[in-house]
Each structure stands twice: as C-alpha cells, then as structure tokens.
Amino acid sequence: MIAGEPSGDRLGAALMQGLKTLSTPVFDGIAGPQMQAEGMESRFPMEELSVMGLAEILPRYFHLKRRIRETAEAVLASRPDALITIDSPDFCLRVARLVKARAPDLPVIHYVAPSVWAWRPGRARRMAQVVDHVLALLPFEPPYMTAAGMSCDFTGHPVATEPVAAPGDAMAFRIAHGIEAESPLVVALPGSRRGEIARLIAPFGETLMRVARARPGLRVVLPTPRHLAAEVQAATTDWPGAPVILTAPDLATRVAAFAAADAALAASGTVSLELAAQGCPMVIAYDMAPVTLWLMRRLIRIDTVTLVNLVSQTRSIPEFIGADCRAERIAPVLLDLLASGPGAQAEAMELTMQRLGRGGAPPGLRAAHSVLAHLAARPSHLPPVGPA
C-alpha cells in the first residue's frame, strides 16, 4: 500500500482496519502516522511525497524519480497479492507503471478515482493501462472508470462516518483554549503541504487582519501537520486573534475545533468535507504557482473546485481561486458569514454527507470488501467474502 499525503494516510488506515476485520493481511509500503498505527512500517517518510503542482515538483524531480524506482523495486521484491495505491497519482501511478511492466498479472487497485469529470478526461484511459480496479469516494465517479476499462466500486467517503461533535464538546474546546463563548472564532486551514502553506499563509493572514478590524474580539484556531508546525508558528506570529496552533491534533480535537468555530477559511480539498461533517460554514480560498494555475485554467471542465458544491450539486460554498485569492475579496464574504450564519450552506453540507454514505457501512470496510472481492475474482488469490 502506498499513501503520499495525510488524506491518503487516513483512507489507508480505514482500509487497513477493514481488511483486518475480514482477513489476516500483512502490510508493506509507504505510510503516514495513521497507517503506521494500524501496523505498517513505512519504507521512507510519507512527507517526502507531499508536494503538488509543477513548480513545486520540479526542484525535487530527481529525488522523487529515485523514490519511484525504489518503491517499484520493493513491490516486485515483496511479491504481494495486490498493490494498492492511494491517491497521489503523480507518484503512485508511475510506480504502478514500472511494476506492471515486469509483473503484468499483479492486481493494481487505486483508491480515489482521478477527477476526470473535472479536468484531463484522458487520464482515465491512461490509468487503465496500469490499474485494474478503482475504489471511488464520490457516487458519480464509477461510470467514468468503467468506461475507461477498469472495474470500480463506490465505497463512500470516510469523512461521512466521523463522529459529530456534541454542543458540549465545542464549548469544552473553547474553555480549554481560553476562547470566550461570545468571541467570533475562525478556524484557518491553509493546507497540509509546504507549498500550499507558503502560498496561502499571507493572504489568509491579511484576510483575518481585515476581519479582526471589523470584529475586534476575533479568535483564530489553526490546525497544522507536525512536520510543518514550526514553520506555521513562525509565519503566524503577526496574525490577529491570538492564534491557537493545534499541532497534529487527534480526530476528537479536530472535530471539536470545527464544531466550536463560527466559520472556516480553508484551502480547497478534502478539508471542505471535514468541515461539512461538523456543520461548520466555510469560505474556500486557494492559489498555486502561476504556471500550474495557467495549466489548470486551460484544462478544467467545471465551474467550482469545492467538493461540497460538487457533491451537493449546489454552489453554496464561496470560493476564491488564483487571482481572486486576495484579502480584499475574501474578507467581506467571511465577515458576512460570521454575521449571518451558514444559511444555504447548512442544507448543502447535510446533503453532501448523505450522498457520501452517512448512516451506512463504514467506507473503510466497504473498500475492504471491494478489494477482497476483486482479488477473489482473479485466479489464485484470496477466497470470496460475504456481501458488503
């Protein structure tokens, strides 16, 4: 199993739990802390792979290329029953291609369908050259995968099964961090990758400065990965709102923080679903290197990048991308959200959770059933299991 960033680590950990419920697997590969807690020893630190965008990847190209080669050799040497790659397609699918070239019968399963409905639809056909089966997080994705020649199951999104904080948890979080009940609280989420944070920390800080001028009692909470905590701490020393830095918070703390917040200012990505799970209204802002943004603008096929908007088929979540990622544009919208509450966002967030599988079987278990059923359908592999 290969994960390349924190969201993939969470998916991998849930899948490992599901596989351990249904069988007696042995794991090997690249993992973050959550997958390691489930019993995998990572061959090298997963954080080495947490880069995104052409401008961000180029300086590390030769290092990443070496890691791709090393990982493919490790897969071939371990002779696994399956290779499961989790998101991070720039790394994972290159590994899969090297592996398939020398072991064409090895089943390759990719967790998280590429967003071909958003941009570069040809990726599905190219992926089908090296991937046999796909585990999809979003309910509308399987037809895109099967049309390209891969089998695919919608397994639900793990965020839909995360615990929902009780009102007491939200208040307890405020008390624990010295945040008054009446103070407006914004949770700031500038990303989990070094490149994202480097680009977003300044516009996020300026946005919050403008908000604080209008709402003097503003408080800010900022969760951050452990390996970036020192950088985030240093970059936010002049932020308003006496920022509370949460270093690698556990799930309960993160959930409580989202529930306690009146609004969130967040980077685009899975975090919008995590906020929706707790009913936290949000503004999405994102920027990237000019060349990456230029390519994205030319290739993108949708009018929103926010997952809550896409899954709910609404445009309730405001977003500020690229040139729009500026404090003077973001701050008035964030101020309106603090003043008026979630409004239409509440219905969109609830609908999103329903469509992602809230109330059903855990996605990690559904994904494990899908993996084992796919392997059982192939000769000389694991026995079949019961229905999901």
Instruction: Read off the pLDDT of each residue in 229-254 and give the average, rounded to a whole number.
Output: 94
Q: If phi over 0 gives left and psi between -120 and 50 gives alpha, with beta otherwise, what is residue 355?
A: alpha
pLDDT at 145: 94
User: What is the distance between the alpha carbons of residues 365 and 322, in angstroms, rounded to a whole number?
Assistant: 38
Instruction: Read off the pLDDT of each residue in 152-173 and give the average, rounded to a whole number.
Output: 92
pLDDT at 33: 94
pLDDT at 388: 42
pLDDT at 315: 96
pLDDT at 383: 44
Nearest alpha carbon to residue 159 among 7, 2, 5, 369: 7
Banded model confidence at residue 53, pLDDT cuts 50, 70, 90: very low
pLDDT at 387: 45
pLDDT at 193: 82
The fourth-level CATH superfamily of domain 2-157+359-376 is Glycogen Phosphorylase B; (3.40.50.2000)
Whether pLDDT at 5 is above 90:
no
pLDDT at 49: 82
Banded model confidence at residue 380, pLDDT cuts 50, 70, 90: low
Q: What are the residue ranges of helices labelled H in 269-306?
A: 271-277, 290-299
Contact between 109 and 135 under an 8 Å Cβ cutoff? The reply is: yes
Q: How far is Cα of residue 368 from the mean position of the Cα atoms in its chain?
A: 19
Q: Does domain 167-355 have CATH number 3.40.50.2000?
A: yes
Sorted by sequence, the CB contacts under 8 Å of residue 336 that are 6+ apart come out as: none
Q: Where in the chain is the domain with CATH 3.40.50.2000?
A: 2-157+359-376, 167-355
Percent of the chain with pLDDT over 70: 91
pLDDT at 119: 61
Range from 189-198, 200-209, 232-241 carrying the lowest mean pLDDT: 189-198
Looking at the chain, how many residues does it have?
388
Nearest alpha carbon to residue 111 among 244, 200, 5, 204: 5
Nearest alpha carbon to residue 90 among 52, 116, 62: 52
Whether pLDDT at 328 is above 90:
yes
Instruction: Read off the pLDDT of each residue in 284-290 and give the average, rounded to a whole number.
Output: 87
Q: What are phi and psi of 154, to 5 degrees?
A: -80, 120
Higher pLDDT, 223 or 303: 223
pLDDT at 386: 42
Instruction: Read off the pLDDT of each residue in 119-131 and give the average, rounded to a whole number.
Output: 86
Instruction: Read off the pLDDT of each residue in 288-317 and give the average, rounded to a whole number.
Output: 80
